[in-house]
Amino acid sequence: MSKADVIVGVQWGDEGKGKIVDLLSGGYDMVCRCQGGHNAGHTIVVEGKKIALHQVPSGILHKNIINIIGNGVVLCPAEIIEELKQFGDVSGRLFISDKAHLNLPYHAQIDQAKEKAKGAHAIGTTGKGIGPAYSDKISRSGHRVGELKNPEKLCDAIMADFEANKAFLDVLGVKAPAREELLGELKSYEAALGKFIVDTTHMVWEAIDADKKILLEGAQGTLLDIDHGTYPFVTSSNTVTAGSCSGIGLSPKNVGEVIGIIKAYTTRVGNGAFPTEDMGEDGEKIRDIGREYGATTGRPRRTGWFDAVGVRYAARLDGVDKFALMKLDVLDGFKKVKICKAYEKNGKIIEYFPSDLEGVKPVYEELEGWDKVEGARKFEDLPANAKAFIKRIEEITGVKVGIVSTSPEREDTIVR
């Protein structure tokens, strides 16, 4: 019996998971997406061409790999239909769990209306309906992907939902669709996606039992976990390694190697605490060089220095065996680079990640910068100061950096 390896984001998401999944997935038989929705965005660069993935697992770029969208995902049918157009016929190599939940257009309407109502206290969601879809799931009033196979029955159920929640929806300004319009929409989803919808739990079990190599692909990042992240400024699913088990239907005993993805600096989208955020020239420079704009929304990401305290906390939650350090080349040319090695809170130095980050200030260690790592493919080719930066990350976090990315290109990667 084989074990499933896990790729997990160890910061606030956007760490560069797509490149690593794409890089490693060639050695796997199956790649599984376990949670999140189309608020996630993985950008992969192959031979200079950018490919943005939102719901489709990154293994889709390899024609011999089975790709699974697991039960922990909230699926937006319209978006995945559009996304799949760039890959041609994927029959026989993409499967969607019948237990995944539907994220339909009214979920996005609710999401946007609630964010608008919160004003200055908005969470800063993508407005894609992820939170409301998960809310319906948890309140046991949601609808599963498998229900698409009976559009008439699903349509009646959704129309009944609108009637039961009319008062709430009226306040938000969300109107019920016309029944025939909704039915037509659901039928179009079934026609396009019906052949992909199966019981993926048993598919994954059969693959494990047959000693197939499986890779579980996380979305977002650990510090956005609904339980362990910077609540309430988090996503609506469990983004930690354990969440990948429940999101695909595996036992923790089935988990093999855990690869944690980190960037050489830190970014965050939306509102919420961000101890190492740099609002000055350095932060702006990092954003511009790193092209730190959302793959899903296009909005600028908040940027700052590497937070080793948060990464150490997340790595412990995830059981990370090794790091993949992404975007080291973005720091090329900086005279000094910083690592946050501790926090100051209420006048005291702390080396742990507190549940409440209010009032937390970073305690930095400043290191000498380097000229250029871009394009390096061997560790010995890295400048001495870049090696020292990597070593210091390893020392503070207690986790080895096993992979180093030196450009967006698939080949510009160092495996130690």
Q: What percent of the chain has pLDDT over 70?
A: 98
Q: Which residues touch 396 (CB under 8 Å, ≥6 apart)?
A: 308, 312, 339, 341
Question: 278 near 288, Cβ under 8 Å?
Answer: no
For residues 63-82, average pLDDT: 96
**pLDDT tier, 18 (very low <50, low <70, confident <90, very high otherwise):** confident
Please report, in range form, the residues annotated as the binding site: 13-19, 39-43, 126, 140, 220, 235, 295-301, 327-329, 405-407
By 3-state DSSP, what share of the chain in percent is helix, strand and coil, each rounded to 5?
40, 25, 40
Q: What is the mean pLDDT of the chain?
A: 94
pLDDT tens by residue, 352-372: 999 999 999 999 999 999 999
Catalytic residue (one of 5, 14, 22, 225): 14
What is the DSSP secondary structure assignment for residue 128, as one 8-state letter?
Answer: S
Is 170 a residue of the active site? no
Taking the C-alpha atoms of residue 223 and residue 366, their distance in angstroms, rounded to an integer, is 24
- Give the residue with greater pLDDT, 39 vs 201: 201
Residue 119's pLDDT is what? 78
* The CATH number of the domain covering residues in 101-195: 1.10.300.10
pLDDT at 36 over 70: yes
C-alpha of 215 from chain center: 15
Mean pLDDT of the 140-146 span:
97
pLDDT tens-digit readout, 228-259: 999 999 999 999 999 999 999 999 999 999 99
Q: Write the CB contacts of 253 (distance below 8 Å, at least 6 apart in sequence).
A: none
Contact residues for 200 (Cβ-Cβ < 8 A; gap 6+): 32, 68, 69, 70, 71, 95, 96, 97, 98, 99, 248, 249
* Residue list, annotated binding site for GTP: 13-19, 41-43, 301, 327-329, 405-407
> Mean pLDDT throughout 394-401?
98
Going by their DSSP bridges, the two strands 94-97 and 306-307 should be labelled as unpaired
For residue 35, is pLDDT > 70? yes
207-218 pLDDT, tens digit each:
999 999 999 998
Which one from 5, 38, 42, 338 is the annotated catalytic residue?
Answer: 42
In this model, does residue 41 exceed pLDDT 70? no
| Binding-site residue set for Mg(2+) | 14, 41
What's the pLDDT score for residue 296? 63
Of residues 244, 317, 293, the one with CA closest to residue 21 = 244
**126 vs 311: which has the higher pLDDT:** 311
Q: How far is CA 194 from CA 146, 147, 182, in A?
A: 9, 10, 17
Q: Which of 54, 114, 137, 263 is labelled catalytic?
A: 137
What residue ranges do the domains of the chain occupy? 4-77+200-415, 101-195
pLDDT for 270: 85
Residue-level pLDDT at 117: 79
Residues belonging to the binding site for substrate are 295-301
Mean pLDDT of 385-413: 96
Report the candidate in 63, 65, 126, 73 with the shortest Cα–Cα distance to residue 97.
73
Average the pLDDT over each of 66-75, 175-184, 296-305 and give the range with the smallest value.
296-305
Q: Contact at 8 Å (CB) between 259 and 320? A: yes
Say which residue, 191 or 118, is predicted with more confidence. Answer: 191
Does the model's pTM come out above 0.85?
Answer: yes
Catalytic residue flag (residue 137): yes
User: What CATH number should be reported for the domain whose range is 4-77+200-415?
Assistant: 3.90.170.10
What pLDDT was estimated at residue 191?
A: 98
Q: Is 42 annotated in the active site?
A: yes
Rounded distance between C-alpha atoms, residue 332 and residue 386, angstroms:
9
Q: Say which residue, 118 or 28, is predicted with more confidence.
A: 28
User: Exposed/middle/buried for 67, CB within 10 Å: 0-12, 13-18, 19+?
Assistant: buried
pLDDT at 295: 64
- The CA distance from 403 to 405, in Å, is 7
Q: Within 10 Å of residue 148's Cβ, how many Cβ atoms? A: 23
Q: Which tokens in the block code for residue 35? A: 């949670």
C-alpha distance from residue 40 to each of 51, 336, 337 (Å): 14, 32, 29
DSSP 371-406: S--TT--SGGGS-HHHHHHHHHHHHHH---EEEEE-
